[in-house]
Amino acid sequence: MRSLPLEGNSHLLGKSIVYFETSVDSGIERARSEFKKGDVAFLPSTGSFCFFIGNVESAKTMTPIGKFTDDNDELMNVKSGDVLRLYEETT
| pLDDT tens digits along 48-79 | 999 999 999 989 999 999 988 776 578 888 99
**Largest interatomic CA distance in the chain:** 38
Instruction: Report the distance separating Cα 54 and Cα 69, nearest Å.
Output: 14
Indicate the domain borders of the chain. 6-75
Q: pLDDT tens, 13-59?
A: 988 999 999 988 888 888 999 999 999 999 999 999 999 999 999 89
CATH topology of domain 6-75: Cyclophilin (2.40.100)
